[in-house]
Structure 1
Amino acid sequence: MSRLRLPAWAIGVLGTGVLVALWWLLAVTLFSGVGAGNADAIPTPPEVVRQWATDGWSFYRRNVGITLDEAARGFLWGNALALLLAAVVLLVPRSEGLVMQVATITYCIPIVAIGPLVLIIAGAPDPGDPSGTAVFLAALSCFFTTVVGALLGLKAADQAALDVVSVYGGTRLTQLRKVRLVAALPGILNALQIAVPAAFLGAVLGEYFGKVDLGIGPAMTAAQQGLNAPRVWGIALASGAVAILGFAFFGLLAQLITPWSRGGGR
């Protein structure tokens, strides 16, 4: 007797429904009346929806838009540098130790420690402009993942194919272009998929240091100071939705570009 298997989208919808129901139950029972002042720490889902309607599209367009701009710039710079260094390692193998040390250091440095230093160097942005601190922290947040993913992918190339290129007089650069890049595409796209929410989170954290007047960071800070729990939760859920959409986009891109990497079963 075959088991009933739900499609992935149905499992996602079901899981989301369970989480919302659990959230609602906890908000009206265990966490009801828990919070500073007269505000509940955990609002119910209808309260968050009403706050979304009150704030309107323009509120989220302004704040999410500037954070997306910062995250996108950091995503491009961080991943471009990571892919460049991964290629350098393949062309100059002796540089691998240095590159991995740099990548590990960037991963181990606490953002809360480096953020104020970056702010001093980059300075505060003009009103309405992206924060240089947020861009830098977004790039830093995705650098390590992409370096490691790209190196693992580039090293996964079939040795027989590399030997064929070498026999016909190809250089390491030719091997990189003809063989290694194709073999590395699944790993690189998976790394980029993970880098999307990491860059967005880095940009949000950077806004807490960057002295900016627009963005997810200052909007959430203002809502916290005003004890507006529904708005805090609404901003957090909107941020999560944006990160999930970016993650899903690169997942779909990976399926379209590298269909051979998908595992199959009977």
Structure 2
Amino acid sequence: MTTTDAPGKGRAIHWEDIKLPAWLTGTIGGVGLIILWWIISQIFLNPSGQKIIPSPLDVVIAYGTAGWDYFARNFSVTLVESGIGYLWGNGLALLLAFVVLLLPRLEGLAMQLAILTYCVPIVAIGMLAVVLFPVPKPGEASGTAVFLAALSCFFTTVVGALLGLKSADKASLDVVRVYGGSKLTQLRKVRLIAALPSILNSLQIAVPAAFLGAVLGEFFGKIEAGVGLAMILAQQNSDAALVWALALASGAVALAGFALVGLVARAIAPWSKGTAQ
């Protein structure tokens, strides 16, 4: 493939030189995944000839059959649980990071605590949480789901906040110290501003983590509604299409929360994305 720059001359155009808009590449990728999904659903059948994996059309039909009220009722409960856990987990993580900056000797203990919350299997913690938290009343959030949601985002925010707070410019810290500023003043005037992009990125990553933690917490029961309970009931009824519908809707909700926090982060700290202040 060539283009003519001058009479009798041509310049080769390589495919890698052609740049497509981001929305177009995303659309092509999405359509390709749906086509691949449909092909796989038609190939993999059980011995009786039934589909092991529901097709995209089956999932769309499941959405219509279940209805808006079904998804709204279950997702509203899980969103409340994940939101409460998100606030608690990130709040405690930021508080711990600030305390470590003011009292550096506690850093080793704080990191051990954060790593412990990350390494211990969440299923084992969930079994303990079921015993610790009482059965929620109808309409109340599950304590187990809230706890696991908070736990799921704690480690990421602690590490991100500490890395950001430690990235502050040393010259700026020295200026505050020379003028008689304390560590708390350094934290407010210099470290917090320097750490803001890292903290906001951690808070963005924590959104899907908190939602996943809440769903896992609902798998342990003691609830009357929620995405986790809806998945369990769909599995027990052998309704694979509804399970897929719930899973895809969960991914869409988590992605929407991730994008929303990203927009907020860009508005609060535009310099972190390379845009003008």
TM-score, length basis structure 2: 0.90
Distance 1:14 1:254 in 2: 28
Are 1:101 and 2:112 counterparts? yes
Q: Hey, what does 2:135 align to over in structure 1?
A: 124
Report what 2:20 is aligned to.
6
Write the letter of the residue equivalent to 1:165: V
Give yes or no for the alignment of 1:252 onto 2:263.
yes
CA-based RMSD: 1.7
Aligned twin of 2:46: 34
User: Which secondary structure state, in structure 2, belongs to the residue aligned with residue 75 of structure 1?
Assistant: helix
Contact 2:42 2:51 in 1 (8 A): no
- Encode CA deviations 1:54-113: one digit per residue, 9 max, x unaligned: 111100000001000000000000000000000001111111101001000000110111
Question: 151, 176, 181: which one pairs with 1:170?
Answer: 181
1:69 paired residue among 77, 80, 104: 80
- Deviation of the 1:213 alpha carbon: 1.6
**Counterpart mapping for 1:84-95 below 5 A:** 84-95=95-106
**Shift in Å at residue 260 of structure 1?**
1.4
1:39 shift after superposition: 5.3
Distance change (3 Å), C-alpha of 1:39 and 1:128: farther
Whether the 8 Å CA contact 2:221–2:229 is kept in 1: the answer is no
In structure 1, what is the Cα distance between the partners aligned to 2:166 and 2:120?
27
Q: State the distance in 2 between where 1:14 and 1:255 align.
A: 27
Query: In the TM superposition, what are the counterparts of 1:72-221 in structure 2 within 5 Å?
Result: 72-221=83-232
CA drift of 1:6 comes to 2.8
* Equivalent residues of 1:116, 1:209 under 8 A apart: yes
Distance 1:252 1:210 in 2: 35
* Alignment partner, residue 17 of structure 1: 31
Between the two proteins, what is the percent identity of the paired residues?
Answer: 61
Kindly provide the CA deviation profile for residues 211-237 of structure 1, in whole angstroms up to 9, marking residues without a partner as x.
212000110000001011110000000
The TM-score with structure 1 as length reference comes to: 0.94
Conserved 8 A contact 1:124-1:210: no
Q: Which amino acid aligns with 1:20?
A: I
- Secondary structure at the aligned position of 1:41 is classed as coil
Shift of 1:21: 1.2
**Cα distance in structure 2, aligned partners of 1:155 and 1:141:** 23
Q: Distance between the aligned counterparts of 1:128 and 1:246, measured in 2?
A: 23
Distance (Å, rounded) in 1 between the aligned partners of 2:52 and 2:146? 31
Q: Is there any run of 5+ residues in structure 1 with no aligned partner, and where? A: none
- Unpaired stretches in structure 2, ≥5 consecutive residues: 1-12
Structure-2 change in CA distance of 1:6 and 1:23 (3 Å): same
Deviation per residue, 1:175-208 (Å, 9 max, x gap) = 1111111111110011011100100000000001
1:128 & 1:221 partners in 2: Cα distance?
19
Q: Output the CA distance in 2 between the equivalents of 1:39 and 1:106.
A: 42
Bigger relative contact order (CA 8 A; separation at least 6): 1
What is the CA distance between 1:263 and its match in structure 2?
A: 4.8
User: Within the alignment, does 1:56 sit opposite 2:70 as a pair?
Assistant: no
What letter is aligned with 2:35?
A
* Residues paired across the two proteins, number: 261
Q: Report the Cα offset of residue 13 of structure 1.
A: 2.3
CA distance in 2, matches of 1:254, 1:27: 39
SS in 2 for 1:209: coil
Deviation at 1:38, TM superposition (A): 7.6
| Conservation of the 8 A alpha-carbon contact between 1:85 and 1:99 | yes
